[in-house]
Structure 1
């Protein structure tokens, strides 16, 4: 069949199986290459429909598509959605009790998709299994895990190329949402995909609002967030203890159910908490970064960071778990100078060959949190795009901050740090600079220094933001006792060879937060939409699947607006494929008729 005929067949399957009238973004290009047998690396943002690019070809190609996926939870989540669309899918994992039946179904040619983890896929017995039936495609999900340059390197992914090389006629599809130029090149090489097979979609997630602000009282700020935000959410915390403490405090606040998730919990607890989150429409999970990659939940309305992420790549991927359904979502980061101090200290543990790259990533993250301009533009430029100067949907675009030339005050602060011996924290250095009447200052003779009392009351209010900015950019670092030391470009600043500009601190944190919330108002209240959601809840409970597996909110919203009166009209709504039409049309039509 020629390329036009192949694409026509794919578009027909898109309509009948998934209920969509047309491909989104680069989906069509990727599917066309796969159906033509050409190996491909597709870099597509989270929420762009990566799984469709192998699920759809799997329904058209002879044989089974083998999907390499890093987490059992992710496999099972995609398994539910695939089966709900009528796709014959199974998984071979330690959590599946029907392994014998799955192997038999594969050998009999009765599977469109077979999900497997890289640890199992690299075993000789799995290769023997693949030799017993036709394989249509290898799909490697979360492909950045194959690269040491990626932020989630998994050594077992390096065994995927030898496996696939044993099937030279089977095309390969690698998928990732997060890969800079260096990582993309490495993925192509590690998985044996030709350079011409690279397809990069835009990285922009326009429905996500980015909000970044200093952490002043993280617990109170997050409690306020939960009172302002509807829907399910994820809060990332930097340690297991912080996860437990935050989850307990937020749960006691009582606005909604809040649970913890980290590797210190038992496997049974983790599975129970994850299942509760996936099934819920308004629960909040407080978690370490161990949580998230295995979640394909489309209706997460916010992702918050209670500290800085590892890198911009990690931040992009973690915030990308919000708003996968395309509806408005928020990404909130609360950061402190201490976060950067600890991150720079951890650089000493990095292997020498990775040190430069890790330092560059941390510097890029510091530039993001201190940026006075558009956050989205900075993010997209990091990934090699050329975005507009303003997005209109981040905190800095919605409420532009003032920018202050803080070079003079930064020089005073750095000079005081140097002259007091680079062994005191900001509290003591600040007292010296403001000329405080303090016993400790006098005892150490710091009241006799040339920097004593050189900062007036107005400048004193800016000392903490300036110190925070200097620590974020690496001009100041802290020793193990909290004493400040000069580093990075500190000497260039002191010599007048570098400038320091900072964002003027907001007058009140609450005012800025509320303004951002108002700008991201929910859709107008619609009683019919609420009734459709209630019916979806009922059907999901009966089918023992999360509500979004039945239909996304966007589909219900279109139903409420279009008010279809027949199965044919219902089938014209995007997201309603043939199998879901058969299963659920009558139930939802009844609700609409009664509305």
Structure 2
């Protein structure tokens, strides 16, 4: 099928609306597949750029892209972000009045909307527009919710299968950050997109430091941890509502700003806590797992698990809420056997109890591991990593290893001889030559590996098998009764002479000593690298400016610019519109709306150095062309800049007293409307309050032109 777009349109829109000059891994392929009307399954880590995979095609497809999303809070954040980037988006859910919902449907009917977010439960209200006349694409976010194999199964998602039948020629894109093999198969089957192209990005979030500690005196450890990271946003996950309340209270008594969040609070209270956190008004939230899926906040710098999560998928998703901007983040997990007992009780009686318990055991093994923790995480999702990460507590304080190649070969050989159909217990029974009923009933006493490990205790074999799983040499197929199966790495060990390093089993009474040593060494390292915050640094000044703008615009600060973009602005120190636009994360719209204020802040910080560093003023180049008689469109083509940027130059030139016929570009009635708005809004410096106040009827560049007149009068 021929492409319905030009490739240069993709890159132009990517920069204009999202501020990026290039795609991340797989993004371009996914976007092009959607534009060519192909169904897709996208597995991409949190913060990996999933949203662009359907938001960018939406701009080029005729009609509206329908986005299925599980939480109202998630919809609101996404829509706020899109609107801030100049993209027409809205949401449709139970929080709205009938009139508001009717207005949204009218926008779809009149082709005035590019993206519409909706919860599965609210689809019934959109029946009149669920046709290929209006819907250009369907995106199912958090797609793992459709599968009972997934860690966050939601029955409401299972009704979504009817959509493909209703919209057979419409491209579907299912997206999630956490799905093992069984869950992936279930997603495409239930959505009826069995032939979907699958794009599985690396699960490796290298910017997140992984650490596990024993749950001894957790509160004092947490207080110390937070004090070493001043002014940084963080989330602390707890198993019970009571614990969130107690922990938040304890932190407050130690002058650490924190709020408790759990499902027991009423909707308004939960919304206010979440809003305050997203907007940097609350630094820390102590929460149950009810908190987080709707959080698109990019500058969470750390995530603590006060209690152990019930499975690796949940743990991975929760730590993924840290460092979404790509900057360094820290994931700290406290592990105790009491948590394991409590979680086993929670799973008791569930319809998929066996699967839940098996996944909990895998989480427990992760917590107790002597293997690189990142290797374990990645191998769980089917991604094999040959080298250690050097960014987890095990890698930084490695245990003593021995050459366990022969042991590994025996285990893998037994898995192979039993045709990859048996769980760990049976594998060990065969290795040890057990004559129990289960072994004899299946005739396993006749396989070649039977009894080749009689000299090693059952518990010790278990220790070695878990290490092989952790290192990716075999894997557990949860959907096949927890059978052990071989991986790509298995062949290297069985046939190609690859070596396997293992640790020896440690008696329970001996475990405390290395843990203390590791803790002490980690503490020394942390003391050396304790961060220093400079209230007068350019980054801090830019952060405060961002916060002020966000307050005026009534949006979260990260929707103005992410921390990563602020860091880039601090490094580059752009002093012109052209240079500001080159910063990753700065699109055309944001340069026009925020550029002046940020450049002014940089110049104020640099002082006299700014004048020396500044090149020929780009605004004056525009003025020379204007004086020569060129139109806005002609100047735009000559300078290879958007016409809105040229209008911004005209506004600046008029403000500086240059001879500009300003009313050639803005009407007197528009100027009066902005003058009136300025009085009614108490003179905000940001442009968005004017835009909203004037019912979005006056473009930003017109508002800027009008303000240049109002401010000069």
| Local SS of the residue matching 1:42 | strand
| Alpha-carbon shift at residue 129 of structure 1 (Å) | 3.0
| Alpha-carbon shift at residue 280 of structure 1 (Å) | 0.7
- On the 8 A contact 1:66/1:116 being kept in 2, the answer is yes
Matched, 1:147 2:141: no
| Alpha-carbon shift at residue 348 of structure 1 (Å) | 2.9
Structure 1 match to 2:515? 506
Residues in 1 aligned to 2:363 and 2:10: alpha-carbon distance in whole angstroms = 41
Structure 2 match to 1:40? 40
Residues in 2 aligned to 1:166 and 1:362: alpha-carbon distance in whole angstroms = 39
- Aligned-residue Cα RMSD (Å) equals 2.6
Residues in 1 aligned to 2:3 and 2:311: alpha-carbon distance in whole angstroms = 41
Deviations 1:187-207 (A, max 9, x none): 010111234511100000000
Structure 2 match to 1:543? 553
TM-score normalised by structure 2 residue count:
0.67
Deviations 1:458-492 (A, max 9, x none): xxxxxxxx9xx9xx99xxxxxxxxxxxxxxxxxxx
Residues in 2 aligned to 1:548 and 1:138: alpha-carbon distance in whole angstroms = 27
1:523–1:282 Cα change, 3 Å: farther
| Local SS of the residue matching 2:348 | helix
TM-score normalised by structure 1 residue count:
0.80
Residues in 1 aligned to 2:366 and 2:358: alpha-carbon distance in whole angstroms = 13
Structure 1 match to 2:681? none
Structure 1 match to 2:365? 367
| Alpha-carbon shift at residue 208 of structure 1 (Å) | 0.3
| Alpha-carbon shift at residue 3 of structure 1 (Å) | 4.6
- Which has the bigger relative contact order, CA under 8 A and spacing at least 6? 1
Residues in 2 aligned to 1:20 and 1:522: alpha-carbon distance in whole angstroms = 29
Residues in 2 aligned to 1:131 and 1:267: alpha-carbon distance in whole angstroms = 34
Structure 2 match to 1:254? 255
Residues in 2 aligned to 1:336 and 1:380: alpha-carbon distance in whole angstroms = 23
Residues in 1 aligned to 2:197 and 2:567: alpha-carbon distance in whole angstroms = 37
| Local SS of the residue matching 2:47 | coil
Structure 2 match to 1:449? none
Higher mean C-alpha displacement, 295-304 vs 6-15: 6-15
Q: How does 1:380-459 map to 2 (within 5 A)?
A: 380-401=378-399
| Alpha-carbon shift at residue 182 of structure 1 (Å) | 0.5
Deviations 1:96-149 (A, max 9, x none): 34323212111111000001001111x2x4222334951110000000000000
Structure 2 match to 1:357? 355
1:5–1:66 Cα change, 3 Å: closer
Aligned length: 503
| Alpha-carbon shift at residue 389 of structure 1 (Å) | 3.2
Residues in 2 aligned to 1:567 and 1:267: alpha-carbon distance in whole angstroms = 43
Deviations 1:284-332 (A, max 9, x none): 0000000000111110011110111010111000111100000100111
Residue in structure 2 matching 1:117, options 116, 119, 130: 119
Structure 1 match to 2:106? 104
Larger Rg: 2
Structure 2 match to 1:13? 13
Structure 2 match to 1:584? 594
Q: How does 1:129-144 map to 2 (within 5 A)?
A: 129-131=129-131, 134-144=134-144
Matched, 1:160 2:170: no
Residues in 1 aligned to 2:3 and 2:341: alpha-carbon distance in whole angstroms = 55
Q: How does 1:150-549 map to 2 (within 5 A)?
A: 150-230=150-230, 231-255=232-256, 257-280=257-280, 283-351=283-351, 354-401=352-399, 500-501=505-506, 504-507=513-516, 511-515=520-524, 517=526, 527-549=537-559
Deviations 1:423-469 (A, max 9, x none): xxxxxxxxxxxxxxxxxxxxxxxxxxxxxxxxxxxxxxxxxxx9xx9
| Alpha-carbon shift at residue 4 of structure 1 (Å) | 10
Matched, 1:64 2:73: no
Deviations 1:144-166 (A, max 9, x none): 00000001111111111203320
- On the 8 A contact 2:401/2:504 being kept in 1, the answer is no
1:126–1:296 Cα change, 3 Å: same
Residues in 1 aligned to 2:347 and 2:19: alpha-carbon distance in whole angstroms = 49
Residues in 2 aligned to 1:524 and 1:232: alpha-carbon distance in whole angstroms = 14
Residues in 2 aligned to 1:240 and 1:99: alpha-carbon distance in whole angstroms = 34
Structure 2 match to 1:414? none
| Local SS of the residue matching 2:307 | coil
Matched, 1:593 2:603: yes
| Local SS of the residue matching 2:102 | helix
1:186–1:522 Cα change, 3 Å: farther
1:20–1:380 Cα change, 3 Å: same
| Alpha-carbon shift at residue 533 of structure 1 (Å) | 1.1
Residues in 2 aligned to 1:172 and 1:376: alpha-carbon distance in whole angstroms = 32
Unaligned ranges ≥5, structure 2: 403-459, 468-502, 606-713
